[in-house]
Structure 1
Amino acid sequence: MKIPLERKNLYGYIINSIMVIVLGIIYWKQMNATGSSLWNWISLALIIVILVMLTTVFFILKAQLKAKKQSEAALLKNQKLLQSIINNTTNAISVKKINGEYILVNEKFQSFFGGSEKNLIGKTNHDILPKEIADRYLEADLEVIKAGEEIQIEEIVEQSDGPHTYLSVKFPLFDISNRVYAIGNISTDITERKVITESQKAADTFFNISIDSLVIASNERFLKVNPSLSNLLGYTTEELISNPFANYIFPDDLEKTKEAIKRLESGANLVSFNNRWICKDESVKWLSWNATSDKNTGRLYAVVRDITKDLILQEENERRMNELYENQQKLNMILENISDGVLVANTDKQVILANEVANELFGIEDDSKISIDFSDHFKVLNPHGGRTFPAQNLPAEQALGGKITNDIDVLLMNKETNEIRRVLLSGRPIIDNENNIAAVVVTIKDISRYKMLEEELERKDQESRRRIGFKSTDSKKKK
């Protein structure tokens, strides 16, 4: 059984006091028996002094023990307070001797190894970690001792949820002789911060190398622009940021730009907003803006594209389309106001255009259903003898071969009604810019009425001749 130091002091004082008192009684009896002498009185006085000194030492030791106990209690209280503080921080904290033995760790640091404080105190990294990792930590500790001041290093610690990156501040602890006796370590988990930093670096890289111009702005001036916008307008980044952006907007577009910014500030997004900007070389460019705003910060974020060439091309296309439309209208008017039927077909022999005369001839309103060689609707006959006209000699086939044909006389017999029309067919190819045949044009001139009139006139002429007794040359020869 362990006896407390206070009790040992008390027991020693009592025993020594009893021994001194007994010794004094013995001297007192000897003095009475042999008679008193100077030396006996001196010896008795010394015994009394010894007793007083014992008593004094007892109370001094008692006071010291009490003070020590209070000091130890205060120290324990402070240690508990310190341990409570370091246990409730998110940082991992440890203190180890210069030989590597841990003398203080907090709960966060214990979680690295999955052990309790008792399992770490008095142990070194070599006792709990693989040699390669432990040697790396030892080298860092030796660097601290060698430097005699704090150092910062990044360390990767494997944990249950994967590797974590810690920023560790290692610093020496000095004794009263100014010698390093321990090494302190405070490690901060910077895994998330590092991810954010890497993301920020990636975002900055994307921001700076983006082909499109990227902008962060307030409602009056640019806060950040990427090099693309500087290259686009010709100003330096410093020039764009240091001046209100209204200085660079084309005056006529300033009011509508201010209205667009107000819409952004109210929470609306800006999509394909176009305005003009004055470049450093005094040229004017059209920019298209897609923008949004952050209501918490009031910042505006935008992606900008130069659409100057697109608008010029669009205007040119519109002009060409207008010209094409006008030409188409003129062509339609010409086609609809001529008496001949007109067919236009592509190289696949598909009719892409027919005028009203041609539609009436074929009895079809849908141009695409008309056959350019007439075979689906008519029998094509030679007017002399009534034989079938060779398909390869028709104007469409000739035109597809690059030949021009004029006034081919044929008969068209309707396959359904057997109605016959006599027509003159002409054809010619349409050549594109590369000298290739792009389409063919076939014209149909209905001469049935003219032939009927011609025959009627000839018949009447013959009748008139007979009435007046006119004899033909052949008759005279016969006579």
Structure 2
Amino acid sequence: MKTSMERKNLYGYIINSLMVVALGVVYLKQMNNTTDDSLWNWISLGLIVIILGMLTTVFFILRVQLKAKKKSEEELLKSQKLLHSIIENTTNAISVKKINGEYMLVNKKYQSIFEAYEKDLIGKTDHDILPEELADKYLDADLEAMKLGREIQVEEIIKQSDGEHTYLSVKFPLFDISNRVYAIGSISTDITERKMIMESQKEADTFFNISIDSLVIASNERFLKVNPSLSDLLGYTNEELLNTPFATYIFPEDIEMTKEAIKKLEGGVNLVSFKNRWICKDGSIKWLSWNATSDTATGTLYAVVRDITNDLLLQEENERRMNDLYENQQKLNMIIENISDGVLVANTDKQVILANEVANELFGIEDDSKISIDFSGHFKVLNPYEGKVFPVQNLPAELALEGKITNDIDVLLLNKETNTIRRVLLSGRPIIDNENNIAAVVVTIKDISRYKRLEAELERKDQESRRRIGFKSDESQSEKKE
């Protein structure tokens, strides 16, 4: 059984005390038996008492010191257990190596990285468990910390079962009581996920900054982050936009509706194509379209902004042109409907796209698309003087498609269903577009049947009148002379 230091101190004190008491008893007996040298005997007795007192004092001093040492050892053990518990349960990988590279201490996390038990690592070096190139790199970092005499930070990449992990390692020298380096400590933190997030953030920032569209992160009053596109768009510097409430730059008449839109955003309603006007640094006004959403938990607003000023101007111009075109179309329709001639408009595919009421009545068809521009579906086109079929290629529509203008071609239209004949004058001309191409043709039909009938009637009546007044024709006078 091992005897504690406290007991040894007690036993030594008792033994020494007994010896001193025994010595004192001897001196007392001598003093009683003799009267010689009584002074020296009393001096000896006094010394014995002093020694006994000193022994007692030393005993109690040693006892106090031993108690203090025991308490200190208990506190040290408690601290060691606490430190060991922290080392073993931390998520950081911790190791201590001798200056020759041998492992003195590794925690569970460090063991898990290399998939080894503590007994498999203690006493080994990095060259025993890692590829040479990687082990040399770790050794260089350890030597650097040792040479500088202070902590350093290095990134270390370790290949594990689930892939490569990046660790941020803090390496630091450990000093003995002589202030000499005897070991190198290392605390490594897995920053793989953090590094991925940082890379992702870097990519997001790159996308944010190079985006053609303006990107905005804001509170309900100020911009928190804007990309260069918005600065270029409005002409203000990044600092001006971030350090001033954005309402400063909104067109005064649009501020209230913008505030209402922000309230909707804060309530969780997304904005799509919200439009408002902004005052640029040069004093010009631009229309911006906002697609925005919000994080209701933080109140942060996120938006994509696009300049639609030119789009709106173009839209207004198109609307104006459409209105003008519609107005012109209405005027044209009114003119076409109120002229006495039939009018046909056909595209380059010879499809009639417009016919006025006179033309509809002539063809007996209300659906314009069913009218044939060359009349072949409805009439037989004849030469009025010879009675022969008029060549299709010489009709105004065909010639207009070739870019030629024709005026008053005299033809007979024989209705295939009723066998009635109309005498008409046909004219045609091409419609040229902005690129000088033929876009359509126009054919006008002037019905002169009535005029021809009136002409024949007048001729007939003239001949009758001449006979009644005895007017002799040139033919009769010639016969008389003969």
The residue that corresponds to 1:279 in the other structure is: 280
The one-character-per-residue Cα deviations of 1:245-280 (angstroms, maximum 9, x if unpaired) are 121111111111111111111111111111111111
Q: Please give the secondary structure, in 2, of the residue aligned with 1:328.
A: helix
The residue that corresponds to 1:172 in the other structure is: 173
8 Å contact from structure 1 (residues 6, 65) kept in 2: no
Amino acid at match of 2:266: E
The residue that corresponds to 2:190 in the other structure is: 189
- Give distance in 1, aligned partners of 2:260 and 2:179: 70
The residue that corresponds to 1:85 in the other structure is: 86
The residue that corresponds to 1:400 in the other structure is: 401
**Pairwise CA distance, 1:313:** 1.5
The alignment status of 1:310 with 2:311, answered yes or no, reads yes
Q: Please give the secondary structure, in 1, of the residue aligned with 2:200.
A: helix
- Give distance in 2, aligned partners of 1:157 and 1:206: 30
Q: Please give the secondary structure, in 2, of the residue aligned with 1:451.
A: helix
The residue that corresponds to 1:459 in the other structure is: 460
**Pairwise CA distance, 1:454:** 2.6
TM-score by length of 2: 0.82
- Give distance in 2, aligned partners of 1:425 and 1:295: 75
**Which is worse superposed, 334-343 or 304-313?**
304-313
- Give distance in 1, aligned partners of 2:3 and 2:116: 37
Q: Please give the secondary structure, in 2, of the residue aligned with 1:339.
A: coil
Amino acid at match of 2:220: N
**Pairwise CA distance, 1:418:** 2.7
**Which is worse superposed, 198-207 or 409-418?**
409-418
**Which is worse superposed, 396-405 or 169-178?**
396-405
The one-character-per-residue Cα deviations of 1:397-453 (angstroms, maximum 9, x if unpaired) are 222222221111111122333332211100112233343333221101112222223
The residue that corresponds to 1:25 in the other structure is: none
8 Å contact from structure 1 (residues 94, 109) kept in 2: yes
Matches within 5 A, 1:228-247: 228-247=229-248
- Give distance in 2, aligned partners of 1:410 and 1:199: 81
- Give distance in 2, aligned partners of 1:114 and 1:404: 95
- Give distance in 2, aligned partners of 1:400 and 1:371: 15
The one-character-per-residue Cα deviations of 1:144-171 (angstroms, maximum 9, x if unpaired) are 1111111000111111111111111111
The residue that corresponds to 1:352 in the other structure is: 353
8 Å contact from structure 1 (residues 340, 357) kept in 2: yes
Amino acid at match of 2:192: T
The residue that corresponds to 2:341 in the other structure is: 340
| Residues 74 and 112 of structure 1: CA distance in aligned 2, closer, same or farther (over 3 Å) | same
Amino acid at match of 2:122: I
The residue that corresponds to 1:215 in the other structure is: 216
**Pairwise CA distance, 1:469:** 4.7
- Give distance in 2, aligned partners of 1:149 and 1:161: 33
- Give distance in 2, aligned partners of 1:90 and 1:376: 93
The residue that corresponds to 1:112 in the other structure is: 113
Q: Please give the secondary structure, in 2, of the residue aligned with 1:426.
A: strand
Amino acid at match of 2:216: V
The residue that corresponds to 1:151 in the other structure is: 152
The residue that corresponds to 1:56 in the other structure is: none
- Give distance in 2, aligned partners of 1:161 and 1:335: 82
Amino acid at match of 1:386: G
**Pairwise CA distance, 1:216:** 1.4
- Give distance in 1, aligned partners of 2:144 and 2:366: 96
- Give distance in 2, aligned partners of 1:72 and 1:123: 31
The alignment status of 1:368 with 2:369, answered yes or no, reads yes
- Give distance in 2, aligned partners of 1:416 and 1:136: 104
Amino acid at match of 2:326: Y
- Give distance in 1, aligned partners of 2:95 and 2:246: 55
Amino acid at match of 2:397: A
Amino acid at match of 2:402: G
**Pairwise CA distance, 1:467:** 4.9
The residue that corresponds to 1:265 in the other structure is: 266
Amino acid at match of 2:438: I
8 Å contact from structure 1 (residues 152, 168) kept in 2: yes
**Which is worse superposed, 72-81 or 248-257?**
72-81
Amino acid at match of 2:124: K
Q: Which runs of 5+ in 1 are unaligned?
A: 14-63
The residue that corresponds to 2:142 in the other structure is: 141
The residue that corresponds to 2:164 in the other structure is: 163
- Give distance in 1, aligned partners of 2:338 and 2:363: 18
8 Å contact from structure 1 (residues 101, 122) kept in 2: yes
8 Å contact from structure 1 (residues 274, 286) kept in 2: yes
Amino acid at match of 1:421: R
- Give distance in 2, aligned partners of 1:96 and 1:462: 141
**Pairwise CA distance, 1:67:** 11
The residue that corresponds to 2:424 in the other structure is: 423
**Pairwise CA distance, 1:208:** 1.7
The residue that corresponds to 2:441 in the other structure is: 440
Q: Please give the secondary structure, in 2, of the residue aligned with 1:335.
A: helix
The residue that corresponds to 2:227 in the other structure is: 226
- Give distance in 2, aligned partners of 1:343 and 1:239: 64
- Give distance in 2, aligned partners of 1:75 and 1:120: 26
**Pairwise CA distance, 1:141:** 0.9
The one-character-per-residue Cα deviations of 1:205-225 (angstroms, maximum 9, x if unpaired) are 222222211111111121222
Q: Please give the secondary structure, in 2, of the residue aligned with 1:205.
A: helix
Amino acid at match of 1:202: E
The residue that corresponds to 1:43 in the other structure is: none
TM-score by length of 1: 0.82
Q: Please give the secondary structure, in 2, of the residue aligned with 1:392.
A: helix
8 Å contact from structure 1 (residues 409, 423) kept in 2: yes
Matches within 5 A, 1:316-331: 316-331=317-332
**Pairwise CA distance, 1:339:** 1.2
**Pairwise CA distance, 1:65:** 12
Q: Please give the secondary structure, in 2, of the residue aligned with 1:280.
A: coil
The residue that corresponds to 1:29 in the other structure is: none
Amino acid at match of 1:276: R
| Residues 70 and 262 of structure 1: CA distance in aligned 2, closer, same or farther (over 3 Å) | closer
Amino acid at match of 2:385: H
- Give distance in 2, aligned partners of 1:311 and 1:475: 85
Q: Please give the secondary structure, in 2, of the residue aligned with 1:240.
A: helix
**Which is worse superposed, 466-475 or 271-280?**
466-475
- Give distance in 2, aligned partners of 1:241 and 1:201: 21
Aligned residue-pair number = 427
State the identity %.
Answer: 82
- Give distance in 2, aligned partners of 1:130 and 1:284: 66
- Give distance in 1, aligned partners of 2:179 and 2:88: 28
Amino acid at match of 2:263: K
- Give distance in 2, aligned partners of 1:103 and 1:78: 19
- Give distance in 2, aligned partners of 1:70 and 1:287: 76
The residue that corresponds to 1:95 in the other structure is: 96
**Pairwise CA distance, 1:456:** 3.2
CA RMSD of superposed structures (Å): 2.8
Amino acid at match of 1:426: S
